[in-house]
Amino acid sequence: MKKRLLTAVTASLLFATSVFAYPPIKVYVDSQAVSFDQAPIIIDDRTLVPMRAIFQALGSEVSWYEPTKTVTSTKDGDTFVLVIGQTGLYKNGQLVYTMDVPARIINDRTMVPVRAIAEAFDAEVNWDPIGYVIDIASGEDEAQKGYSTTVEAEDGTVVLSFDMEYPRSSSNGGDEIYKTLEEEAKELAEDFIKEYGAKAKKEYEGAKGSSFAPYTYQGAYEMTRDDSELVSFYGTSTQYTGGSETVRGCVSHTFYAKGGEEVELFTLIADTKKEMEEFWITSFGALIDEKPSGFYADAKKRLEKCVDEVGYYLTKDGIAFYLPPETIAPKEAGIVSFTMKVEL
């Protein structure tokens, strides 16, 4: 049965997220998004994440000894130890890594430097400073999850690359869902190459040995809900096509777990489109009022014109609504969104 969302709204539940000063940091281990109950933070140019989640994502057991504030992790017969406030990371009793920023407790969560932990496990760590994405390759799962392709110049140099990652759902309709995301990726790649492939080749040839940066499209989906009823994905992307600017984007999909058929928002809820548009204008308007300096001066006028661009994805607690970058706020503000707690 469809649920009416607006009757479930209370002031205490409405705004679960707001405008970010910078994009939220996302962490992937072998292309699988890692969920945290405390958001990752940056301290002295080092990213710290909740201890238990990152150790478990790397396939390690972890324990905490309160009297000495000691973290102990075991994997494949190896034991790793670190102490809150100290920079040493020990493997089987030997110092293997000196952390620039020690582990610390923040909001009752033990936070550890993600690069130090991952590299201690012999994993490869890549940081995307544009999309604020940390990609960790443990080396244990080499199966590609996604679609990639390139364009090469006559001398074999890659002048354009396209890469879209998407996890596989464990639901009954997982194969169909994966196929849908793969077809979307191939269409995006075809369009990207059609528009920029020849241009990238021409720019490379004109560079004549001077600096040339390949054109790139990098995207990744996070699976935000995966249960017996519904499966939902939220994806972000960055495009570089020459010059000094990059273009950020976001997209989402929700599917029935059985059969893998895609689900439109108004199939799930009983509220009318007009009711929801009024709700979005009020809700995003409240975010603007809360921190006007983070938005364009004419943000509310822009909102009325772009309300049909509101996207949604499901979480385990409700529905998240978002607007694409630069619709009502500058690029630096990140994705403007809020989450409504409701059972579906």
Domain boundaries along the sequence of the chain: 6-20+145-341, 33-113
Query: What is the pTM assigned to this prediction?
Result: 0.61
DSSP letters along 38-105, please? S--EEETTEEEEEHHHHHHHTT-EEEEEGGGTEEEEEETTEEEEEETT--EEEETTEEEEE-SS--EE
Q: What angle do CA 228, 233, 234 make, to 5 degrees?
A: 150
Does 208 score more than 80 pLDDT?
no
Q: What is the pLDDT of residue 282?
A: 93
Give the pLDDT confidence of 308-331 residue by residue, as tens digits. Answer: 999 999 988 789 999 988 899 987
Who contacts 23 (Cβ-Cβ below 8 Å, separation ≥6)?
Answer: 131, 132, 236, 248, 334, 335
Q: What is the pLDDT of residue 5?
A: 64
Q: How far apart, in whole angstroms, are the C-alpha atoms of residue 150 and residue 191?
A: 13
The answer to whether 6-20+145-341 and 33-113 have equal CATH topology is no
H-helix or E-strand spanning residue 250: strand 246-256
3-state helix, strand, coil in the chain (%, to 5): 30, 35, 35
Length of the chain equals: 344
Give the pLDDT confidence of 234-277 residue by residue, as tens digits. Answer: 988 889 998 877 888 889 999 999 999 999 999 999 899 999 99
Kindly state the percentage of the chain with pLDDT values over 70: 90
Q: What is the pLDDT of residue 291?
A: 86
Fold of 6-20+145-341: Heat Shock Protein 90 (3.30.565)
3-state secondary structure at position 152: strand
Q: Is the separation of the CB atoms in 125 and 134 below 8 Å?
A: yes
Give the pLDDT confidence of 30-75 residue by residue, as tens digits. Answer: 877 888 878 888 888 888 898 888 888 888 878 888 888 888 888 7
CATH number of 33-113: 3.30.457.10
